[in-house]
Each structure stands twice: as structure tokens, then as C-alpha cells.
Chains A and B, each alone.
Chain A
């Protein structure tokens, strides 16, 4: 496989469930990102990892817990979510964090999450 893959593509969970979203990139990149896209709102950056280290957390509630075991894999662990957390969760990767060539981000197709 090439590019950025995300699983599952769709997820329905109750507020008391625990689930995890998985992202994998086959591009040899060093930076990985989680974004949230809610209906009628712009994409919001949630977390940034650079060389497996978390470098940014944009005030995301603790019910979202990211994990980056290596530069190719990124997880988002979910627990006790609320219905307003229903959204499209997108993963992205980039070679590095720069704005110059090499810093462009490659996005996965997203996981459509519904919290009941």
C-alpha cells in the first residue's frame, strides 16, 4: 500500500465505549498529525507528532489520547466520548514541519465517527 491509510473508515460507538483509530503512512515521513472535521466547521488540528514525540496538543480533551509508537503509525484512543465528538477524523503525515518543499502534508481518507 502507498500513501496514508486509516482504519476503520466508519465507526459507531456509544458514550461508554473505548475504541481506537489507526493511521499508517508508507511515505517515510517523520511528522504525523490528527485533525478533526466537524460538520460546517473548518478542519481543526488536534495533535502533532515529530519523530514519534508529541510536539503539539491543541487543547484537546483528555478523552482523546494519541499514541505514536513509531514514525509510521499513529493511533487515537477514544473513551467516554460525547455525541458532539461525532466528526470526520483525519490523519496526515509530512516529511518534516517546514513550509518549504517537503513540508506538504499528505492526508488519509479519514474515519467517520458517530457517537450515540
Chain B
């Protein structure tokens, strides 16, 4: 499985933008980039995913480098509720086998200060 590299931790101030980086230099041409987050005492939750183009949804934006070797999850205005561990995960476009599984790393622990 292609691997990702994320900083162990980051800090942000409330109501400021947060840019969470992820390096995936060995990404294959068909791997999707997925982001999940895990709030304290909860299971992970899906945030966003993309393939080549930048993506926006109600939770966040995903900026993907042109060479796809890195990506950045952008929280436009961090709130205290955004304090969580954020996981960047590569998923092969498998339609039934193990290559489509979510392989979680250690993620980035985001702290948000009031």
C-alpha cells in the first residue's frame, strides 16, 4: 500500500484557517486521497476525498498538488470542535478486494486554542 507522511501534531487558533499537509510521494496514478478525522472518544468520520482536482465540501477543502505527491486539507475557520486526529489515506480504486481498504496511519493531532 502506498504510504502517507503527516506531522504528528499541529496547533491552530480558533476562527483561523488551518492547513494540514500530507506527503504521498509513492502515490499511484489511480489512488484516491481520502481524509478522515477522529474526534476525542468517537469513531473516525469521513471528511473529504479527491483524485486530481481540488475538492470542496461543507467540512473542508482538499488541495492536491499537480504532481499528486502531496495534498493539503484546509479548514477555513477552525473551531474548538475541529480538535481531532486527522488521517490522510490513499485508497486504490478497488471494487471489491483488499486494495480498497482504509489503512490508517498515526495522523496529525490538531489542537485548537480559543
Contacts and interface: CB of A to CB of B under 8 A. Distances in A.
Interface of A: 4, 42-45, 48, 50, 55-56, 90-92, 96-100, 103-110
Given A92-B43, A104-B49, 13 more contacts: A42-B106, A56-B98, A90-B43, A92-B44, A98-B95, A99-B31, A99-B34, A100-B93, A104-B46, A105-B44, A105-B46, A107-B42, A107-B43
A110 B41 CA distance: 9
A56 B94 CA distance: 14
Interface residues of B, number: 27
A108 B98 CA distance: 21
Contacts of A106: 45-46
A109 B34 CA distance: 20
Contacts, number: 65
Interface centre among B42, B43, B46, B100 (most CB of A within 10 A): B43
B91 A99 contact: yes
Tell me whether chain B's interface is mostly helix, strand or loop, or mixed.
loop
Interface of B: 31-32, 34, 36, 41-46, 49, 91-98, 100-107
A15 B43 CA distance: 26
Given A97-B100, A99-B100, A42 B46 contact: no
Contacts of B31: 99
B42 A109 contact: yes
A4 B105 CA distance: 23
Contacts of B34: 99, 104
